[in-house]
Amino acid sequence: MIFRQLFDQDTGTYTYLIADEKTKEAALIDSVRERIDRDVKVLEGLGLKLKYAIETHVHADHVTGAGSMRQLLGDVKVVVNAASEVKCADVLINDGDVLKVGDIEIKALYTPGHTNTCTSYQVGDMLFTGDTLLIGACGRTDFQSGDPAQLYDSIHSKLFSQPDSTKVYPGHDYIGLTMSTIGEEKANNPRLGNNKSKEEFVAIMNGLNLDMPKRIKESVPGNMKCGLAA
């Protein structure tokens, strides 16, 4: 398997490239519109053919590159969760659905709570958690149908239920961490670790008092159109 983690410094967003070495089929998870030239260059440099542009959710902090990738490269399927109302998508994905690039299976895990469209993806022992689970944190739950109790349940039932050695590749990090493991998050995550109860978690999340994301007014409508208009 070819695997690359790519980073957008402006929004702290990770994009992931997963590809099959034999067939050269590739998927990108959470591309960023401003970085598609770089991502196309990486695909070309590795001789890959993009099959899927996958979204973990309707982002509020950046605009996806998925629609632009489809326009540029052709024959790319944009993948979003079925609960979203993203009409420009090609694949509406549900919990347990599997996408294939060559022999590699990318399995969707519906993990609502940060938003009601959040989907994590699993490839072998790697979890691409979007904003559901971040390193030492998690996505906020105060807009876009966010629900801290639901997020707690999603994390516990779909992510923390996996082996401790399972690798966590988040949708963002803002202090230069690139990955973690389920074991580390279960032990050390300040909001969830050390067996925090749902009540403790909900209280933490409801007490965050965060400012709105700077680009929410552009990002959410832009992402509802696969990044093709803001």
Minimum distance, C-beta of residue 45 to a copy of itself, in the bound complex (Å):
5
Residues with Cβ within 8 Å of residue 173, at least 6 apart in sequence: 12, 14, 134, 135
Provide the mask over 4-33, with x wherever binding to a copy of itself is found by CB under 8 A and - wherever it is not.
Answer: xxxxxx-----x------------------
CA distance 144 to 180: 26
> Per residue in 74-101, is it b (16+ CB within 10 Å) or e — as a string?
eebbbbbbbbbebebbebebebebebeb
Minimum distance, C-beta of residue 12 to a copy of itself, in the bound complex (Å):
8
Q: Which of 26, 33, 35, 134 binds a copy of itself (CB under 8 A)?
A: 35
Instruction: For a copy of itself, give the closer residue by CB, 195 or 209.
Output: 195
CA distance 52 to 78: 6
CA distance 10 to 109: 28
Provide the mask over 156-185, with x wherever binding to a copy of itself is found by CB under 8 A and - wherever it is not.
Answer: -------------------xxxxx----x-
How many residues at the interface with a copy of itself, by CB under 8 A?
Answer: 20
40 is a site residue for a copy of itself (CB under 8 A): no
List of residues contacting a copy of itself (CB under 8 A): 4-9, 15, 35, 38, 42, 45-46, 175-179, 184, 187-188
